[in-house]
């Protein structure tokens, strides 16, 4: 009964989807993100039990009945022939898959893969660096705090003794500036007097290039796969740029519908040789 894929994947990916949305936010609290990553891994690990699987299986059976999908009787797994005892069998012929196989091969395997990927991507070192990054965010309670920054400075080989005086001076300088909200704004302001903050600017540059701090750029690249399909492979670079801008900044482009007549008027004035009568 492969319909079990629907409730199992919905249960699993609804958890990871929330974390994905958080990590792609333009304004990210790194300490909160690190806590959410750890919570997500713990939640997925807690799903890997028979009680949770029984709920998934019951939901799948209910879903199958609601859509008139036949639920085949479950049989025991076929015994492996003796002449294949020393071989690797990747698929079984005939018969129906048992509940045990669905649980281990499908449900548990999906959770194990996700946990392994999360552990590879967000190791203990990465999480400590993520929490340390929060000290470079201006609206953080640990903004430019040396002890909070220490894991980050140690990992990237930045002189802690040299940067300590820069942190104190930067706090005084930035206190006179209008409220800042991002690492980019801090960097832009301190870069005007870069001779005073060489080490701090180096740390800010590194922070701005770390993947989790550049969600806007990552969304830009992922959007290109949806825009430049094989049906649009011959479009010009100029048209691709314009479509990309409309798609990526769709929160702004959707507002054009409120003033569509103005858009049509401007287009008709700029393209007077158009064969279409726009107004």
Concatenate the DSSP letters of all residues of 140-183 into one string. STTTT-HHHHHHHHHHTT--HHHHHHHHHHHHHHHHTSSPP-SH
Name residues whose C-beta falls within 8 Å of residue 264's C-beta, 6 or more positions apart in sequence: 278, 279
pLDDT for the residue numbered 156: 92
Under-50 pLDDT residues of the chain:
94-95, 213-215, 217
Q: Do 20 and 40 meet the contact criterion of CB atoms below 8 Å apart? A: no
pLDDT for the residue numbered 250: 77
pLDDT for the residue numbered 196: 92
- Integer angstrom CA distances of residue 6 from 13, 52, 148: 11, 15, 43
pLDDT for the residue numbered 130: 84
Break the chain into its structural domains and give their ranges. 2-79+93-122, 139-205, 215-270
Number of other CB atoms surrounding residue 135 within 10 Å: 25
Q: Is the dihedral of CA 155, 161, 165, 168 positive or negative?
A: positive
pLDDT for the residue numbered 23: 80
Chain-centroid distance of CA 101 in Å reads 31
pLDDT for the residue numbered 217: 47
Q: For the chain, how are helix, strand and coil distributed in percent, rounded to 5?
A: 70, 0, 30
Which of 42, 51, 49, 97 is closest to 74 using CA atoms?
A: 97
Tens of pLDDT, residues 86-122: 665 555 554 455 778 888 888 999 999 999 999 988 8
């Amino acid at each position: 009964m492969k319909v079990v894929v629907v409730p199992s994947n919905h249960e699993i990916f609804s958890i990871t989807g929330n974390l994905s949305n958080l990590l792609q936010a333009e304004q990210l609290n790194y300490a909160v993100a690190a806590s959410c990553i750890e919570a997500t891994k713990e939640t997925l690990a807690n799903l890997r039990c028979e009680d949770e699987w029984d709920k998934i299986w019951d939901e799948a059976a209910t879903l199958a009945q609601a859509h008139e999908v036949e639920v085949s009787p479950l049989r025991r797994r076929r015994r492996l022939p003796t002449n294949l005892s020393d071989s690797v069998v990747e698929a079984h012929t005939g018969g129906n898959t048992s509940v045990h196989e669905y649980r281990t091969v499908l449900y548990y395997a999906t959770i194990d893969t996700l946990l392994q990927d999360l552990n590879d991507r967000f190791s203990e070192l990465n999480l400590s660096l993520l929490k340390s990054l929060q000290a470079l965010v201006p609206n953080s309670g640990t903004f430019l705090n040396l002890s909070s920054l220490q894991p980050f400075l140690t990992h990237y080989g930045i002189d802690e003794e040299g940067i300590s005086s820069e942190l104190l001076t930067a706090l005084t300088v930035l206190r006179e500036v209008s409220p800042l909200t991002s690492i980019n704004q801090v960097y832009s302001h301190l870069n005007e007097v870069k001779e005073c903050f060489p080490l701090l600017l180096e740390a800010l540059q590194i922070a701005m290039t770390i993947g989790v701090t550049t969600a806007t750029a990552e969304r830009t690249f992922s959007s290109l796969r949806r825009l430049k399909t094989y049906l649009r492979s011959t479009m010009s670079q100029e048209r691709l740029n314009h479509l990309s801008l409309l798609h990526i900044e769709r929160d702004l482009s959707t507002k054009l519908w409120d003033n569509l007549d103005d858009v049509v008027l401007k287009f008709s004035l700029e393209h007077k040789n158009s064969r279409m009568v726009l107004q």
